Amino acid sequence: MIFRLTALLAVLPLALVAVPSVASASDAAAGKVIFDANCSSCHGVSGKGDGPVGSALTPPPRNFTVGDFAFDPDGNGTKGENADLILVIQNGAMKYGGSPLMAPWPTLSEEQVNDIVAHIRSLKAGDATE
């Protein structure tokens, strides 16, 4: 079972096609389309970390609705800023001491990553951390 799950997670990022963003940078609606296509299997459509694949992962995926951010990739002493989310999305969590199951998404454009971050921010009402 674990071998099959690991194999699925290894190819999942390659199997999913990024949806091109047609909106301007930091467009939460465009980010939702990309998030739903590429991230929701682990993080869940609502961003609670309860996606169908995510429920089988240890550690579980981040719950974005409560601002559950664990990393400070830019090293400025504040976890979960937009710059931190961008780095984790682009490079994966393992690079920053997190789970290797949060795969890097280097094929996403800068605009697409910014749109995803805008969508993640929209999952927690009132959070507009730059």
CB neighbours of residue 83 within 10 Å: 16
* Spatial distance between the Cα atoms of 113 and 25, rounded to a whole number of angstroms: 9
* Spatial distance between the Cα atoms of 23 and 6, rounded to a whole number of angstroms: 34
> Please, what's the b/e burial string for 45-61 (b: 16 or more CB within 10 A of its CB; e: otherwise)?
eebbbbbebbeebeebb
Tens of pLDDT, residue by residue, the chain (130 residues): 554 444 444 444 444 444 333 334 489 999 999 999 999 999 999 999 999 999 899 999 999 999 879 999 999 999 999 999 999 999 999 999 999 999 999 999 999 999 999 999 999 854 444 4
- Overall CATH class of domain 2-17+24-123: mainly alpha
**Residue 125: predicted pLDDT:** 55
CA-CA distances (angstroms) from residue 116 to 7, 27, 38, 56, 58?
A: 25, 8, 10, 23, 23
* Spatial distance between the Cα atoms of 58 and 27, rounded to a whole number of angstroms: 31
**pTM for the structure as a whole:** 0.76
* Spatial distance between the Cα atoms of 73 and 58, rounded to a whole number of angstroms: 21
Peptide linkage before 59 cis (omega within 30 of 0): yes
